[in-house]
Amino acid sequence: MKEFQSFFKTVKGNEGNKCHYPTRLDTYGCGCQHDCKYCYAKSLLDFRKLWNASEPSVVNIQKVHRTIRRNLKEGDIVRLGGMTDCFQPLERHHRATFHTIEELNKQNIGYLIVTKSDMVADDDYMALMRKDLAHIQITVTCTDDSFCRLYEKATPPTKRIAAIEKLQSAGFDVQLRLSPYIPQFIEKGVLDMGIINNVQCDKILVEFLRVNTWIRKWFNIDYSDYTFNQSGYIHMPLELKIKYLSLIKGFKELTVCEDVSEHYDYWQRKVNPNRDDCCNLRKNMSF
Ligand code: SF4
């Protein structure tokens, strides 16, 4: 098993300027067993032969603990799983994410977990995570368990939804992360907005699909709505995003994570409940 060395990074540029949590700690790298066909990380690393989906590299946990102690302080929030999923199946054996959270708890540092796995809601992780420090976003991209297997090898969506509801009812700061939101799946009958709108969760975060040459090659959908070019990616125009966003109903809070500068301004002004934090995390940290 290779060691993943570049596990700690503060993202800069277009994305870093918009994101309120640009500091990332990835417990697994250079590959992700979920192997999603629309994966941005894969599209940036695969052509340089730096991506191995079946055998990702794993951090040295002692180095992670030292890095946390040296670079983060009480009250910070670090993002776990920004580049690859920190709850991919490897975690069951290596427990690198588990031991990272242990250290973050010790240092009173918050953590934003982004995952497509229901492992985060297993009893041992729920007992480990502190409600004042943990912020969890579980990603859902369609509502059809069999269709999902065609383009991502993560936990089936029905189980992800059950995990969201378990965390919500236990009082965690949890969000359904509809990311990427692919409205083309609605027509196809594999993204049922009735199911999404019925998820028992207070908060939803939406991030629309953006496409580059590699993703377009691997992920076969109808791209006729994707006509807006910016920074090497093709997006849907804002009017269409607004139209599709209106299909999301019933959540107490809806927020949009966005890459396109003009669209980001619009969501900030008109939609997002927290103008300074498009992740819309609950801030109740008290030590
Ligand atoms: S879970 Fe995330 S990092 Fe892993 S393959 Fe899918 S999109 Fe990429």
Three-class DSSP labels, the chain: CCECCCCEEECCHHHHHHCCCCEEECCEECCCCCCCCCCHHHHHHHHHCCCCCCCCEECCHHHHHHHHHHHCCCCCEEEECCCCCCCCCCHHHHCHHHHHHHHHHHCCCEEEEEECCCHHHCHHHHHHCCCCCEEEEEEECCCCHHHHCCCCCCCCHHHHHHHHHHHHHCCCEEEEEEEEECCHHHHHCCCCHHHHHCCCCCEEEEEECCECHHHHHHCCCCCCCCCEEECCEEECCHHHHHHHHCCCCCCCEEEECCCCHHHHHHHHHHCCCCCCCCCCCCCCCCC
pLDDT at 286: 47
With a 6 Å cutoff on the Cβ, whether 116 touches ligand 1 is: yes
pLDDT at 1: 86
Q: How far is ligand 1, taken at its centre, from the CA of residue 36, in Å?
A: 5
279 with 112: CB under 8 angstroms?
yes
177 vs 175: CA distance, rounded Å? 6
pLDDT at 17: 78
Mutate-to-test residue for ligand 1 from 38, 42, 115, 218, highest number of ligand atoms within 8 A of CB: 42
Ligand 1 atom showing the smallest separation from residue 84 Cα: 3
With a 6 Å cutoff on the Cβ, whether 32 touches ligand 1 is: yes
Residue 156: is the preceding peptide bond cis (ω within 30°)? Answer: no
Mutate-to-test residue for ligand 1 from 26, 33, 36, 55, highest number of ligand atoms within 8 A of CB: 36
Using alpha carbons only, what angle is made at residue 242 by residues 237 and 248, rounded to the nearest 5 degrees?
135
User: 148, 246, 268, 160: which is closest to 197 by C-alpha?
Assistant: 246
Using CB atoms within 10 A of its CB, is residue 192 exposed (0-12), middle (13-18) or buried (19+)? middle
Q: In this structure, which residue's CA is closest to atom 7 in ligand 1?
A: 39
Q: Indicate if the alpha-carbon torsion angle 115, 121, 124, 128 is positive or negative.
A: positive
Mutate-to-test residue for ligand 1 from 84, 117, 182, highest number of ligand atoms within 8 A of CB: 84
Q: How far is ligand 1, taken at its centre, from the CA of residue 147, in Å?
A: 17
Residue 278: count other Cβ atoms within 10 Å of its Cβ: 23
With a 6 Å cutoff on the Cβ, whether 85 touches ligand 1 is: yes
43 with 212: CB under 8 angstroms?
yes
pLDDT at 140: 98
Structure tokens that stand for 205 in this block: 């975060």
With a 6 Å cutoff on the Cβ, whether 80 touches ligand 1 is: no
Q: What is the pTM of this model?
A: 0.96
pLDDT at 287: 40
pLDDT in tens, the chain (287 residues): 899 999 999 988 777 778 889 999 999 999 999 999 999 899 889 888 899 999 999 999 999 999 999 999 999 999 998 899 999 999 999 999 999 999 999 999 999 999 999 999 999 999 999 999 999 999 999 999 999 999 999 999 999 999 999 999 999 999 999 999 999 999 999 999 999 999 999 999 999 999 999 999 999 999 999 999 998 899 999 999 999 999 999 999 999 999 999 999 999 999 999 998 999 999 765 44
